[in-house]
Amino acid sequence: MINNILPHKEITLKKIFSFEKTPFNIVMMIVTMILLAGFGAGFINYLMHGHHAYGVTREHPWGLLIAMYIFFVVSSTGLCIISSLGHVFHIKSFEFIGKRAIFGAIITIVSGFAVIGLEIGHPIRMAIYNTISPGFTSAIWGMGALYSVYLLLIVVEFIFLSRDEHKWSRLFGMGGLLVGIAAHSNLGAVFGFLVGRPMANGVFYPVYFILSAMITGCYLLFLMYGYRYKMEFTIEMEKFLMHLGRLLGLLIAILVFFEFWRFLTAIYGNLPERADTALYVLRSKSFWLGEVLLGMMIPFVVILYSKAKAIKAIIYASAAGMVGIFFMRYNLVHDTLIYPMQTMKTKEYQLVPTFIGYTPTITEWAIALGGIGICLAMYYIGENFFFLDPNKEDEYFKNYKAEE
């Protein structure tokens, strides 16, 4: 039945576990299983203790799970945007990545939803009241609503892509892209609208989010292709990846430029909440090592020095890039909250409040990394049971047979 709607291979448990037992695959399987188990354990802990299982506090109400959620949805939007370059905007060399990218977009956002579902204190209540009592002025409501529509659209898009109904897929692709970008800038607005948080408040995040989404999309595509082709690429493929690499280099360069001015304007003028926070961030290791070195410099340098030709190196650098992106998401949440809203002592025997600390609990880590497990598992299923590569007419089933 489903096959009539969405072409796929037969999915059975046996088939799921009958993969090629290369060391890499075995490691990946074990890692995925551990991550999934972590998610399960975290989920049970959440059911038992609710928010008490988390390290969030009055002063730092959002933590790792929100960061992870953002990590996933940014990945999703990024993949969506990059894929649209091909099948929506007809940029030739990007055309054949469409399906894989959209599939990636789906699984990342689903993983994101899985994580945020456990961050919200009352997910069921959320489903009810987000619908019957919508807070239209709420960026988070807008984001939630748009991402839901977005998910719907890209799922349909994926179906049409899989069915090679390109007229429809383009239509839904267009819709998905627009709603995705809207949702995504809304996510930026979730932070940008925080009038009391000068580090976040303003236009920066909505724009920055689109940019960094595209970067994330590029990193992920490099990783997916690296995995898909076991690091052996055809000339055609290499050509495409070089294009992608150049685009990535350009985007990173813009991001560096963005960040530079962001910090300069934050420090200039010396408004304590903004400047002190910025200086504090600039003194932190996780900014320099995480965001800058892993997230930007390593990939950028590799691309720059190889003129985007060292594909393998770029793929490894993309792994570093994704770790860096994780730091960016984590820091985004954390940096927004580090400056205390209560700057005075409220207890007699207490030190004057300074920058606010936050340490995620094991439960939070389990759920957050568990989200990656969900993502990996879904990707594995997708890679093996759906048709993620372009269907050059009849090759569809030829490929399918050849692989059997």
Q: Which residues bind other proteins (CB under 8 A)?
A: 50-52, 56-59, 61-62, 119-123, 125-126, 129-130, 133-135, 137-141, 144, 190, 193-197, 336-337, 340-349, 351-352
Nearest distance from residue 151's CB to other proteins, in Å?
A: 17
Distance in angstroms (rounded) separating the CA atoms of residues 175 and 25? 36
Helix (H) or strand (E) holding 328: helix 311-337
Please give the structure tokens belonging to residue 17: 């576990």
Cβ distance to other proteins smaller for residue 161 or 179:
179
Cβ distance to other proteins smaller for residue 51 or 239:
51
Cβ distance to other proteins smaller for residue 4 or 137:
137
Nearest distance from residue 62's CB to other proteins, in Å?
A: 6
Sequence-ordered strand ranges (E) for 42-107: none
Nearest distance from residue 352's CB to other proteins, in Å?
A: 6
Distance in angstroms (rounded) separating the CA atoms of residues 208 and 74? 11
Distance in angstroms (rounded) separating the CA atoms of residues 404 and 402? 5
Q: With both helix axes pointing from N to C terminus, report the angle between 64-87 and 166-192 in degrees, rounded to the nearest 10.
A: 150
Nearest distance from residue 154's CB to other proteins, in Å?
A: 22
Nearest distance from residue 48's CB to other proteins, in Å?
A: 13
Nearest distance from residue 72's CB to other proteins, in Å?
A: 17
Cβ distance to other proteins smaller for residue 113 or 172:
113
Cβ distance to other proteins smaller for residue 126 or 152:
126
Under 8 Å between Cβ of 371 and 115 = yes
Under 8 Å between Cβ of 334 and 55 = no
Cβ distance to other proteins smaller for residue 4 or 346:
346
Cβ distance to other proteins smaller for residue 138 or 384:
138
Amino acid making up residue 383 = E
* Among the listed residues 31, 119, 26, 37, the one whose alpha carbon sits nearest the alpha carbon of residue 72: 119
DSSP state of 291: I
Q: With helix as H, strand as E and coil as C, how does 221-272 read?
A: HHHHHHHHCCCCCCHHHHHHHHHHHHHHHHHHHHHHHHHHHHHHHHHCCCCH
Nearest distance from residue 49's CB to other proteins, in Å?
A: 10
Length of the chain: 404
234-241 — which CB contacts under 8 Å span 24+ positions?
Answer: 238/311, 239/93, 240/93, 240/94, 240/96, 240/97, 241/311, 241/314
Nearest distance from residue 248's CB to other proteins, in Å?
A: 32
Cβ distance to other proteins smaller for residue 3 or 359:
359
Please give the structure tokens belonging to residue 371: 């989200």
Cβ distance to other proteins smaller for residue 72 or 386:
72
Nearest distance from residue 216's CB to other proteins, in Å?
A: 23
